[in-house]
Amino acid sequence: MIELILGGARSGKSRLAERLAAESGLPVTYIATSQAHDGEMSARIRQHRERRPLEWGLIEEPLALARVLAENAAEDKCLLVDCLTLWLTNLLMLDEPARLAAEREALLAGIEQLPGRIILVSNETGLGVVPLGELTRRYVDEAGWLHQALAERCQRVIFSVAGLPMILKGVPL
């Protein structure tokens, strides 16, 4: 089963994903895409680490997400990816359009063939005003296109607001 959990900042999407992973009854591997470029991000990463169960595995991968998913997915495992928009940001900051396209296509081409349970977390950025800068507009566009493509491939899509999950596609929680 592949699930996509979308929501804004502090919407409860990561906590929901972690709850669903814990309730799956499967061994969980957390795939973190963030990078600690400053103290504030280091603090966020530390908070995420502290609330995760100690028995969960951890893979930190900022770029090659499709490869890591393919290498670690198994019928008897749950992989939790947090988060796709940080992964997208990492690729955009490389300023290598070919790499972004290749990584995105690898993810979309392989996601439906992965065994086991896959939970993807991402920030919904398309609900606000259009950003002024070229890079931020590109980020919003790329995130929106990625979410649409993944939502087509996922069995369940959830939108989280104020800690409340709304099922957009698939079976209820």
Q: Are strands 78-82 and 57-60 parallel, antiparallel or unpaired?
A: unpaired
The closest of 115, 136, 135, 151 to 4, measured between CA atoms, is 151
Cis omega (within 30 of 0) for bond into 83: yes
Report the 10 Å Cβ neighbour count for 89. 20
Q: Give the contacts of 38 (CB within 8 A, at least 6 positions apart).
A: none
The closest of 104, 110, 94 to 143, measured between CA atoms, is 104
Distances (CA, A) of 160 to 15, 24, 37, 157: 10, 19, 27, 10
Catalytic residue among 15, 48, 99, 138: 48
147 is catalytic: no
Residues with a known catalytic role: 48
